Amino acid sequence: MNHKTYISLLLFIAGMGGFLYGYDVGIIGAALLYLSKTIELTVAQESLVVAAVLAGGTVSSLVAGAMADFIGRKRLMIAAAVVFLVSVALIVVARGFGLLVAGRTLQGLSGGMIAVVIPLYLAESLPAAIRGRGTAIFQLFLTIGILIAMAVGRHYAAGVEALAAVTDPAVLRSAQDGAWRSMFFSAVWPGAIFLAGTLLVTESPRWLLRRGRGEEARAALVRSRPAQEAEREFGEMRAALTPTGDAKAAAGGTLWQRRYVVPFLLTCTVLGLTQTTGINSILQFLVVILQQAGLSAANATAQATWVTAVNVLFTITGLLLVDRIGRKALLKLGTGVIALALGVSAVVFWRMQSGAMAAGPGTGLIVTASLMLFVAGFATGPGVCVWLALSELMPTRIRSLGMGIGLLVNQGISTAIAALFLPVVKSHGYAVMFVFWGACTIGYFLVAALWLPETKGRTLEEIEAGFAAGRPVR
């Protein structure tokens, strides 16, 4: 297979990893409609079933970087696929709390591994000219996974609702039980495709070289690049390890060496600020927010689907632009749009809370439009660029460990915001949360404008050399 065909295969398989990650996020909401009606769970147990994915993801993000260094990127992708398929099997056969929470925890473990290893693998394997849109494939498939999960949930929910008039409770209960199990089982097919695909791709050339397997690294580069380009990049990789190109001598690099601190802290800042835009809380509580803005439950649900579709559409836009206008420009554009959208929503909710405006269909449509603008800005900018910042800014020797820590920061801030969302809006109203998110997004814009280097078209070794010399390209 020629290098263009191989790159297409690599991107598709990496995209399927993103799809699984997104499907995990999206399917639980619909499944919960029926799960609690067919398996006896306390409120605390139901909360644990939902939170188990987050807990599993947090644990795996801590260790996935070290695992990627120890066993390799390819083997970790295989492990993530196997863990995912096992998790689906446990959930589908579960008859009680134990297997349910075990399966959901394994799903979280798999998702955490995927979130670390796929951007890492893509950054280390793709040519610099397409690394931006290539890595953005992960985010695109992630958003498609969320959208497909919503569609699957609605499909099975429609079947259950058609039986709602059935007087025999046993028939309805059986349909409800089959619905949530089928929702989870639907993920087997993309999971199997992901597993099969991981067996076909080569190991990361940079990981191979760091293990002293130079010829295998060269062969991996040739598989995805023209021979001349592969030889040039192979020389840069060897030179970047140490001045003598000694891979073993390079193994002692640590996170806290001075040349690594700036890119590490900058990456963690970008990942943290991505969550302070409020993206996860807005998507998780989207229907509730639209209802509070004045829409009926049915209209809020319908509009939420359209907001999710906008997310997919503008992720494609970001994917097409990231290697043309660059990461820095997209982040400035995206965060500027996000700040504007959050400001509009804050004003509408503040006026409703102060009594200056009555909640109704009009206010609901204004908030819907502003949230569509919000996800358009996020998908075009941070949604695409955050995975690139995570993988491109980290120097090779600390990339896997640093990415794990960066994702932990990202998930920790996301968890904290989600935990505070309902208490804050109950005490102070929705306007306060939108103002907070807007202020953080303005900070995000300033970081992108003033400190983030442009990495478009540069090899990982060139980016690292810029930080080492204290002159990263702006």
DSSP calls for 318-359: HHHHTTTT-HHHHHHHHHHHHHHHHHHHHHHHHHHHTTSS--
What does the longest C-alpha to C-alpha distance in the chain come to? 79
Query: How far is Cα of residue 158 from the mean position of the Cα atoms in its chain?
Result: 29
| CB-count exposure of residue 141 (10 Å: 0-12, 13-18, 19+) | buried
CA-nearest of 186, 182, 168 to 33 is 182
Instruction: Give the Cα-Cα-Cα angle 104, 109, 113 (nearest 5 degrees).
Output: 145
How confident is the model at residue 249, as a pLDDT? 42
Give the span between the Cα atoms of 430 and 344, in whole angstroms.
Answer: 12
d(CA 452, CA 473): 9
The three-class DSSP label of residue 42 is coil
* Residue type (1 letter), 182: S
Q: Is 471 helix (H, G, I), strand (E, B) or coil?
A: coil
CA angle 268, 409, 387 (to 5 degrees): 55
The CA distance from 221 to 233, in Å, is: 8
Which of left, alpha, beta for 252 (phi over 0: left; psi -120 to 50: alpha)?
alpha
User: Cβ distance 364 to 382 under 8 Å?
Assistant: no
Q: What CATH number labels 1-201? A: 1.20.1250.20
Assess contact for 183 and 355: CB atoms under 8 A: no
Residue 438's pLDDT is what?
96
The token pair that represents 382 in the structure block: 């941070």
Residue 54 in contact with residue 415, Cβ under 8 Å?
Answer: yes
Q: Which of 286, 32, 28, 53 is nearest to 146 (CA)?
A: 28
Each as own residue / partner, the long-range contacts of residues 4-12 (CB below 8 Å, 24 or more positions apart, any chain) are 6/223, 6/224, 7/126, 7/127, 7/130, 7/134, 7/224, 9/197, 9/200, 9/201, 10/122, 10/125, 10/126, 10/201, 10/224, 11/122, 11/134, 11/137, 12/197
Between CA 78 and CA 122, with CA 131 as vertex, the angle to 5 degrees is 10
Predicted pLDDT of residue 472: 60
Backbone angles phi, psi at 164, to 5 degrees: -60, -25
Helix (H, G, I), strand (E, B) or coil at 278: coil
Class at the top of the CATH hierarchy for domain 256-474: mainly alpha
* Rounded (to 5) percent helix, strand, coil in the chain: 85, 0, 15
N-terminal to C-terminal alpha carbon distance within the chain? 38
Give the pLDDT of residue 473. Answer: 55
Residue with tokens 């130079």: 214
Q: Are 465 and 240 in contact (CB under 8 A)?
A: yes
Profile the chain (474 residues) by mean pLDDT over runs of 10 residues. Answer: 86 91 78 79 76 78 85 94 95 90 91 88 86 81 86 81 73 86 92 94 92 91 89 86 49 61 88 90 82 82 84 90 88 96 95 88 93 95 83 78 82 80 86 95 94 83 78 59
pLDDT of 474 reads: 58
Q: What is the pLDDT of residue 258?
A: 65
CA dist 153 to 165, 179, 190, Å? 20, 8, 16
User: CA–CA separation, 182 vs 359, rounded Å?
Assistant: 38
